[in-house]
């Protein structure tokens, strides 16, 4: 039982490159979230999903896209990376109606 896993753990991109971060969960949770963590700012919600085939914008969605084609996977895409997207990205899941969120180990992304 792996819980929430994220791939990759680290990545360095050049400005303008694209990439996809994968979040996978084996807990059968309906809700999934993508956050970014920046120093002194805590975690901020990028996008979220309330179930397979659904996605919606969070607080800081610009420059990101997401897809949830399968219940267990939530993908975060950067179409044209910018240095401002250098951050640590966390995926989290939640089982309705609980409010508790379970976090993955994070992906550290650097855009040069």
Partner 1 sequence: AQSVTQPDIHITVSEGASLELRCNYSYGATPYLFWYVQSPGQGLQLLLKYFSGDTLVQGIKGFEAEFKRSQSSFNLRKPSVHWSDAAEYFCAVVSLFSGGYNKLIFGAGTRLAVHP
User: Rounded distance, CA 14 to CA 79, Å?
Assistant: 12
Query: Any idea how long the chain is?
Result: 112
Which one of 11-19, 66-74, 75-83, 96-104 is the stretch in contact with partner 1 (CB under 8 A)? Answer: 96-104
The residue among 96 and 112 lying less far from partner 1, judged by its C-beta, is 96
DSSP 85: G
Closest CA to 52 of 26, 73, 34: 73
The residue among 17 and 102 lying less far from partner 1, judged by its C-beta, is 102
Restricted to residues 27-66, the positions that interact with partner 1 (CB under 8 A) are 31, 33, 40-45, 48, 50, 56, 58-59
Tell the smallest beta-carbon distance from residue 40 to partner 1 (Å).
5
User: Rounded distance, CA 67 to CA 71, Å?
Assistant: 10
Quick one: 89 exposed, middle or buried, by C-beta within 10 A (0-12, 13-18, 19+)? buried
Tell the smallest beta-carbon distance from residue 60 to partner 1 (Å).
12
Provide the binding-site residues for partner 1, judged by CB under 8 A: 4, 31, 33, 40-45, 48, 50, 56, 58-59, 90, 92, 94, 96, 99-106
């Amino acid at each position: 039982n792996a819980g929430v896993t994220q791939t990759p753990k680290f990545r360095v991109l050049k400005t303008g490159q694209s990439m996809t971060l994968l979040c996978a969960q084996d807990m059968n949770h309906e809700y999934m979230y993508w956050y970014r963590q920046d120093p002194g700012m805590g975690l901020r919600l990028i996008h979220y999903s309330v179930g397979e085939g659904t996605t919606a914008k969070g607080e800081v969605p610009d420059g990101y896209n997401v897809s949830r084609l399968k219940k267990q996977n939530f993908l975060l895409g950067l179409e044209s990376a910018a240095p401002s997207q250098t951050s640590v990205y966390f995926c989290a899941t939640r089982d309705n109606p609980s409010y508790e969120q379970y976090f993955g180990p994070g992906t550290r992304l650097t855009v040069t």
